[in-house]
Chain A
Amino acid sequence: MESTQSFRFFNRGPSPVVRLVFFAVFSLLLLFVDARFRYLESTRSALSILVSPIQQLAAVPGAIWQFVGDIYITQSRQHSLILENESLQQQHQLDAAQLLQLQTMQAENQQLRHLMALPLSYDFSAQLVEIAYAERDVFKRRVLVNRGEQGNIHIGQVVMDDIGIVGQITRVYPWLAEVTLITEKDHAVPVEISRNGLRAIVFGSGDTSQLSLRYMPVSADIQNDDILVTSGIDGIYPPGIPVAKVVSVERDPAYPFARVVCLPLAGVDRHHHLLVLSDIPKLPEPPPLEKPAQVKIDKRAKARRKN
């Protein structure tokens, strides 16, 4: 009896090796499911409610630091603020004048479109959000903003600042949303060069704040300082919003494609406030790929081979 008791006393469940294997396999399974299928988003948002108090607490020191910095504004800083205020005032007046012009032009444009019985090209509204915290993974270019499902944010919405595209909403929590920046590795934006309308796709490079235009033939008409704007072809991004500027073009005849490096125009890793666009009209679904045509070609090729 005693021996069994002492045995019980030391028997603390399965051995560490068994536990290690069990939890490692479980983790790997979770990893696989999360990476491939994204089934776990609801679990994630449920758990995020438990973690978010700690996260919000962690954001407090930074906020206090900024607050203290705001209180002790030095003389020179005040001077620069006054100057900035003046220039902003002037800018505001200019903008107001332009806005008036824009409004009249919009009205005129609408009338013309009505006359021609064309559908409205785009008319979207925007929501102002604030960056809550930056991604704490070295490898990622993502930020979390302070609006989520409760603030009517949905996956796939486009995020921009006052200059251009910043990124896209990729994950929505109840009170937070994750924005993947355009500089994230392999994040693609369909663009066109505003100078000549050449269509292209701009990719993020991940480890730097640069973007690159891939698959551009060596002979493509690209120059330094070309502005890339969204082409609006895929229906996710509204057309005509600035994205990036070309900073270097390398044409090496040894490679089929030119190496084009661009820098984002928008303050992708600078500002505190961002705009989330909504109500972008969805394009109709693309038609399914035409497989019969391909088969025909194959048949012809086979026929040719036989001959």
Chain B
Amino acid sequence: MPAQVRPIIHARPEIHRPVNNTFIMLSVMTALFLNGLPWHGIWLMLRPDFVGMVLLYWCMNKPWRLGIGLSWAVGIFADVADASLFGQHALAYTVLAFGGVVLHHRLQMFDLRQQTAQVFGILVLSYAVYALVHWLVNGYVVWLYFLGALTSTLLWPLLCIILLKIRQKRVDRE
């Protein structure tokens, strides 16, 4: 059954060509850039976690290229960029990457809609880790912060389509 619903994202036969390492790195850096834009007030609450989404995408699609270890390293960079405590983002992204790597067979079978529902769960888990660490350190939780998980999920299909289009274009060109 999953094979029938699959064509929604894989409309064109995709050549499973190894993804360029530079492309993965560029996507992660772009995500760090987007996270670093000057978000303020309510927009900061609604800001999707671009880095988390991109990491989850690669963990799902190329779990052997970008896995838990690299996600952790990117998390350390995110901690430096956000001036948060060392390990806060790293822990959240480790959990996120674990979710992606463990479920990657299942998630690749799903169509975009089912995938998005699963991704929401994983994202909420990583946000919960972040909130938990914050609660342990500072002693309070801002629940509005979880709105970011919602917006991230809403942007997930868009991210998937964009990254897939770029990958296909690269295949077409050759």
Which of A23, A28, A44, A59 has the largest number of chain B CB atoms within 10 A? A23
Give me the 8 closest cross-chain CB pairs, A-B, nearest first: A58-B36, A30-B87, A27-B91, A27-B87, A31-B87, A34-B86, A19-B68, A20-B98
8 pairs from A and B in contact (CB 8 Å cutoff): A16-B102, A23-B68, A27-B87, A30-B90, A31-B85, A57-B33, A139-B138, A142-B83
Contact digits for B124-162, partner A, Cβ 8 Å, 1 yes 0 no: 000000000110011010101100000000000000000
Q: How far is the CB of B72 from chain A (nearest CB, A)?
A: 4
In chain B, what residue has the closest Cβ to A136? B82
Q: A27-B91, A59-B38, A138-B145 are in contact. List 14 more A-B contacts (CB 8 A).
A: A17-B98, A20-B95, A20-B98, A23-B72, A24-B94, A27-B87, A30-B90, A51-B80, A58-B33, A58-B38, A133-B36, A134-B38, A138-B142, A206-B140
- Checking A17, A27, A144, A171 against B90 with a beta-carbon cut-off of 8 angstroms, the contacting residue is A27
Q: Given known contacts A31-B133, A57-B33, A136-B36, is B67 in contact with A19 (CB within 8 Å)?
A: yes
Contact digits for A16-52, partner B, Cβ 8 Å, 1 yes 0 no: 1101100110111111011100001001100110110
Count of A-B residue pairs with CB < 8 Å: 116
In chain A, what residue has the closest Cβ to B80? A47
Q: Using Cβ atoms and an 8 Å threshold, which residues of chain B touch A142?
A: 83
Please determine whether B98 and A19 come into contact, CB atoms closer than 8 angstroms.
Answer: yes
Contact digits for A70-88, partner B, Cβ 8 Å, 1 yes 0 no: 0000000000000000000
A178 touches B (CB below 8 Å): yes
Please determine whether A24 and B91 come into contact, CB atoms closer than 8 angstroms.
Answer: yes
Q: Given known contacts A51-B32, A144-B83, is B134 in contact with A139 (CB within 8 Å)?
A: yes
Q: Given known contacts A54-B36, A185-B138, is B64 in contact with A34 (CB within 8 Å)?
A: no
Please determine whether A28 and B45 come into contact, CB atoms closer than 8 angstroms.
Answer: no
Please determine whether A48 and B80 come into contact, CB atoms closer than 8 angstroms.
Answer: yes
Q: Using Cβ atoms and an 8 Å threshold, which residues of chain B touch A55?
A: 36, 81
Q: From DSSP, what is the main secondary structure of chain A's interface residues? A: helix
Q: Using Cβ atoms and an 8 Å threshold, which residues of chain B touch A207?
A: 142
Q: Using Cβ atoms and an 8 Å threshold, which residues of chain A touch B91?
A: 23-24, 27-28, 31
Q: Using Cβ atoms and an 8 Å threshold, which residues of chain A touch B82?
A: 135-137
Q: Which residues of B in the span 64-98 have a Cβ within 8 Å of any Cβ on A?
A: 64, 67-69, 72, 75-77, 80-88, 90-91, 94-95, 98
Please determine whether B44 and A138 come into contact, CB atoms closer than 8 angstroms.
Answer: yes
Contact digits for A167-185, partner B, Cβ 8 Å, 1 yes 0 no: 0000100000010000001
